Structure 1
């Protein structure tokens, strides 16, 4: 990479950056040293970011972790209060980086929530989970909701919401699984789990043929229970309350617990909870 003054990010510079990190020097101190030596700020920042990202990834793989991959990204670098998705102004309520969790408000209208529930009700059945040992589906005692799947773009409201999600998360519509609607009655829950597919399970290669690994999840709340039913992240002691019209997004760049994306649906204590879930894949989901 070069700038107008033809400053190059050399192998020697990358080696120096890694050496600074290994010696325990803060990234900001290394950056200031580069600026004092005459490096332009944009070149210095890119060199720091790309070098350290590559170094950390190599270290992770050397320790036996799966390689990281690109993930959906809502693009919140400038800390916006709102994201304009073209047809709706979505609020940014909370933004966490490790794990990557973003809470959105005003993601769905009341009318959209009601429409999804009405369309889903006649098709509800006991919720299944992906069986990574076989590549099929199975009843799981950890998941006691009922649910159904829409085909991608099945109705006008589903299509509109999917296009909004694609703009919000900067991820192609075709890389999303069909929208799933779930219904939780009192006592129903989904115990903590990961959404990615375990690469060590025998059925995972079959699952991955349909679009690759899952890399992100968006849970949208359609109806609020009176008590309970939050989305929990046990590793970071976070609970997102199921506010109607809101959504919680989280991504995972490698299929490994190091992403700290263990999550669950807490038991509904009173009332009923309705949610819509969109799982996002690496590639086109067929």
Structure 2
């Protein structure tokens, strides 16, 4: 029996993908529902390609149309935070101040911003964080808890969302800049790296294959964007690296780097790390953005 790709099937594929389902999961569901594998793959590829072309200037960071079924499986993504950079503006409005656009990349989506925080705000944030610093932990994806990770040799702490006037001011700027609800952000984290400390290349999203990921996602879904703000300037080293594209962002006080990843997959090229501090020390503030309200 010949199966045809109906408008209803196309609409269902778009609905599942928009809801955050991975293409592999959508394809598997179609086959289990009785669709022939070759028809399911063709429908998935054609529908996702057409849908990505129609997104246009929306908030989904859409890669080039896929040319194979494998490409289509990696092409779909969810809505992500992003800056309004149509027309290549020199500066963007952050509400209470204008912020310089220094670098803007499409794939991976990386934007380097100048002057997100003033020198005084950087100093105030360090002063507020210093008494609360402890050895940094990372999310333990096999259980959903936290663990010491030898790849991350820094000290850190988390502010509660909106816990002070300074924090609220910074969060409001980020919300306006990346066009993402304030409540979808995790609490601002401040990190301190001494000489030799680093954070080896990693992804900020949670690996769907890990057993602890469903527990983590209950608090607000996947991470879809990151803002790293530099609070001081180490003498040497300490940049933010993106190994897949050979990019290193220098840690300049008050500047920030924003990057997003519209699916939990290495094809986003969002692999990044904190290079070792070679002289001096490094202070940064990190804001992770989730799909939904973070609780």
After TM superposition, the score normalised by the length of structure 1 is 0.80
Q: Secondary structure at the match of 1:174?
A: helix
Counterpart residue number, 2:109: 100
Gaps of 5+ in 2: 1-6, 8-49, 57-61
Over alpha carbons, which structure has the higher Rg?
1
Distance in 1 separating the partners of 2:223 and 2:139 = 12
Q: 2:173 aligns with which of 164, 175, 179?
A: 164
Q: Secondary structure at the match of 2:126?
A: helix
Aligned positions of 1:1-80 closer than 5 A: 49-50=53-54, 56=65, 64-65=73-74, 67-80=76-89
Give the superposed CA RMSD.
2.3
Query: Taking structure 1 as reference, are residues 66 and 55 closer, same or farther at Cα in structure 2, changes over 3 Å only?
Result: closer
Contact 2:66-2:72 within 8 A present in 1 as well:
no
Query: Taking structure 1 as reference, are residues 174 and 271 closer, same or farther at Cα in structure 2, changes over 3 Å only?
Result: same
Counterpart residue number, 2:185: 176
Query: Taking structure 1 as reference, are residues 217 and 47 closer, same or farther at Cα in structure 2, changes over 3 Å only?
Result: closer
- What displacement does 1:62 show? 7.1
Aligned positions of 1:172-211 closer than 5 A: 172-211=181-220
Query: Taking structure 1 as reference, are residues 271 and 54 closer, same or farther at Cα in structure 2, changes over 3 Å only?
Result: closer
Query: Taking structure 1 as reference, are residues 282 and 58 closer, same or farther at Cα in structure 2, changes over 3 Å only?
Result: farther
| Count of residue correspondences | 242
Contact 1:213-1:281 within 8 A present in 2 as well:
yes
Counterpart residue number, 1:85: 94
Q: 1:254 aligns with which of 254, 258, 263?
A: 263
**Which runs of structure 1 show a deviation greater than 6 angstroms over 4 or more consecutive aligned residues?**
51-55
Distance in 2 separating the partners of 1:70 and 1:48 = 12
Counterpart residue number, 2:142: 133
Contact 2:108-2:259 within 8 A present in 1 as well:
yes
- What displacement does 1:63 show? 5.5
Gaps of 5+ in 1: 1-10, 12-45
After TM superposition, the score normalised by the length of structure 2 is 0.78
- What displacement does 1:192 show? 0.2
